[in-house]
A and B are shown apart, each in its own frame.
Chain A
Amino acid sequence: MPDPTSAPVLGFDGLTMEFPGVRALDAVSFGVRAGSVHALMGENGAGKSTLLKILSGAYQPTAGHLQLQGVRTIFPSTAAAIAAGVAVIYQELHLVPEMTVAENLLLGRYPRRGAWLDRAALRAEAARLLQLVGEDINPGTRLGRLPLAQRQMVEIAKALGRGARLVAFDEPTSSLSETETRRLFAIIRDLRDRGHAILYVTHRMDEVFEICDAATVLRDGRHVVTHGTLADVTRDTLVRSMVGRELTNIYNYQPRPHVPNGLEVRNLEGPGLRQPVSFSVARGEIAGFFGLVGAGRTELMRLLCGAVSPTAGKVMVHGTAVQGGSPRAAIRDGIVFCPEDRKKEGIIAVRSVAENINLSARRNHLRGGLLLDSAWERTNATAQITRLGVRTASSATPIGLLSGGNQQKAILARWLSEPVRVVVLDEPTRGIDIGAKSEIYALIRELATAGASVVIVSSELPEVLGIADRIFVMREGALAAEFTREQATPEAVLHAALPSAAA
């Protein structure tokens, strides 16, 4: 265990960051010790990302500075941060998929012999770095061929190769499987034991207690608390300091009447599914789909919403078979889809919040069948923003400027603007803070109560168990099990989700 009294290797001292119209960080001070894993927690918008950006040298603070081994400093550039032994590992890795692992590892500092690239040295050094993270990867492999988890290891090895003494992780497990997470934790522990300081940004409470030695909570850009040790800190204490209020039961489950003949899926087949899938969701029912990464959940949802055409099978809504073929056709038949990757597939970042909300429903509100109804456009956008509590300066603000949770609410508002029969939500609360989560759950309940059949995909077991009336488990491209709310214990659901070899 690290010595809690040792001087911090990295200190944040009165760090303040102002952007036009917002103070993202407000005089934040705390320290990270060598040989410890320090959790940095807070809702979206608390200022974690800004803090990491300053640490990586991408941003220079408006006021305050860093203390690196007792020396006041501000990194004027990312190169300066790297030179000082600071590495920040983002969710989106900064690697070149077209290049080999070795080339990525030594990018920017290739060994040379005269004017020539020293290939032997490149390979040898790459192998040495990979060994540091205990990865058995051929350095000559093209990076793009590696699974995400291994790319992350490459990124860590790259940081170590540049002499990083402080490694900051930004939600590193968000797209890793359980096994991969284990491996990552082993590496992080190893780094810690070798005296590195680790700053670990996460939303996941379990991870904090599993791997972290200390924790700092930010809220609205301010420092709330730093726990030097987590020995007598509870989950509740952390959550309370993150949200600044008590959260009783964010799922607030209440039984609703179910009317049959909602969504009927019969023997659906398509890419990513190993077996035909059949299930049905009544009107007013919330069906949760759980499974490990790669179990075929997203693929199934994309078939449902018309993004991918099924090779066989049938989807019926309210007793009528849907045409399919395109999302447009699916929407006309009453199936709407909220994709997993909000930035890539959900929002149109440069367009306004109002544009994003009205995008789909506006076709039902034309004047003379041709011109936009500007009055409706305005009223609907304002009404949805108020109804969903989207925090935005105005309806004309580009949606890209909003926080993740508010972007997600705006995307949901897109579908609340028109009559829907089936709502398919793929990871609707990924990367969203707990406050916005509970608001999104309320919306989902509202949709179901209004008679929609809701299909929700989630990798978070508590979420599936908390909100769904029925739980479907997918495993290796097939529907593996089905539970009623009463039958669904965490153990049973998880057991059904694990591949048979591991079960």
Chain B
Amino acid sequence: MSSPALPTQSAFARLWDSAGMLLVLAGLFLVCSLGVDNFLTATNLRGLALAVSTIGMVACTMMFCLAAGDFDLSVGSVVAFAGVLGGTVMNATGSVGAGIAAALASGALIGLVNGVFVARLGINALITTLATMQIVRGLGFIVSDGRAVGIRTDGFFALGNTAWLGVPVPVWLTVACFLAFGVLLNLTVFGRNALAIGGNREAAHLAGVPVVRVKVIIFTLQGLVAAFAGLVLAARMTSGQPNTSQGFELEVISACVLGGVSLSGGVARIGFVIAGVLIMGLVQNAMNLLNIPPFYQYVARGCILLGAVMLDRMKQRELRWPTKLDLW
């Protein structure tokens, strides 16, 4: 019996699949360097990197959430809450360590609650994290009485406002997150299990993947990292702001999806996330340099998100048709 040809992707399709968004990023960078005044300066690039550092950190764990077929809307509130709580505790105790510990612990706890509700109790992630998003936002206002918490322990500001080798510390921390979560995704059973769960939860369960445990850990990590990002942000601003980062969760998800992480789960790469985060930041930066009013920037960001979701959809369809039809 002759064996029929098997489906293979063209070389271009493969390249696009693995590095498409990195190419877009490179192209955008080139265009901005040539076309936008003051773009290619050390000061601007440092500012750009700093601007995406918060999104970058949280996008790492959001990638895991999406990989496992979930998402987390509470991260923006956690970022704000962690800054406020950390600042309040530092002011009260005079200890930077205590403030950081309290913020991280509360972030992880919120994540754990999300995880238990979603994975163990089977409540929809949208509903669960929509609820915790509001609860935690409210807690931030309660703790701070609705006002910014000016932080009085100067040592804390090193986290946000110092530089190493000319690069701001928050940027280094983001790079560290990319590395750590890239390794976690690609080189550990945990990462592969997350992708398997997102790809087909039931099949993963029957194959012995501890679905509930993996999901709970993912949400807990998500809360922990969001709290950490909130602390770094507070250090940069030298205060904890209860109303910061509204809509942040959507920016993070946009960045991931823009990079090519699939909303329906099972497909994620750290390179996707890095590309998505940088493209978002780059576009925003270029718009600022071009003096495009903020009102228009909202419109542009929405359009970019829509474009990214469409890309995700098209990619899915490419993969879905044979799956669904059982062609061969």
Contact = CB atoms under 8 A, between A and B. Distances in A.
Contacts of A36: none
A51 B293 CA distance: 55
Given A24-B327, A245-B1, A347-B200, A359 B188 contact: no
Interface stretch (B143-151, B202-210, B241-249, B304-312): B202-210
Nearest to A305: B206
A307 B206 contact: yes
A174 to B, nearest CB: 13
B10 A391 contact: no
Interface in A338-375: 339, 343-351, 355, 358-360, 362-363, 366, 370-372, 374
B1 A435 contact: yes
Interface in B32-49: none
B196 interface: yes
Contact of A19 (B200, B322, B323): B322
Contacts, number: 150
B182 interface: no
B266 A44 contact: no
Contact of B328 (A44, A349, A363, A372): A44
Given A327-B205, A328-B209, A350-B199, A401 B4 contact: no
Interface residues of A, number: 60
A391 B4 CA distance: 9
Contact of B189 (A20, A344, A363, A393): A363
A392 interface: yes
Given A327-B208, A328-B210, A350-B267, A391 B6 contact: yes
B205 A347 contact: no
A20 B13 contact: yes
A400 B322 CA distance: 7
Given A50-B325, A345-B203, A397 B208 contact: no
A393 B6 contact: yes
Interface centre among B8, B196, B328, by most chain A C-beta atoms within 10 angstroms, is B328
B207 A327 contact: yes
A46 to B, nearest CB: 9
Interface centre among B1, B5, B203, by most chain A C-beta atoms within 10 angstroms, is B203
B291 interface: no
Contact of A53 (B5, B202, B267, B325): B325
B327 A359 contact: no
Given A53-B325, A359-B204, A359-B209, A351 B199 contact: yes
Interface string A400-414: 111110000000001
Contacts of B5: 21-23
A355 B196 contact: yes
B9 A21 contact: yes
Contact of A402 (B186, B192, B328): B328
B206 A345 contact: yes
B322 A401 contact: yes
Interface in A8-31: 19-24
A466 interface: no
A392 B188 contact: no
Interface centre among A348, A349, A401, by most chain B C-beta atoms within 10 angstroms, is A348
B262 interface: yes
B203 A20 contact: no
Contacts of A435: 1
Given A19-B7, A348-B266, A49 B327 contact: yes
A472 interface: no
Interface of B: 1-10, 13, 186-189, 192, 195-196, 199-200, 202-210, 262, 265-267, 319-320, 322-323, 325-328
12 contacts: A22-B5, A50-B325, A327-B207, A344-B200, A345-B200, A350-B265, A350-B266, A350-B319, A359-B196, A359-B209, A393-B6, A393-B7
Given A243-B1, A359-B209, 4 more contacts: A22-B5, A22-B7, A350-B262, A355-B192
Top 4 nearest A-B pairs (CB, nearest first) are: A400-B323, A348-B199, A21-B8, A45-B328
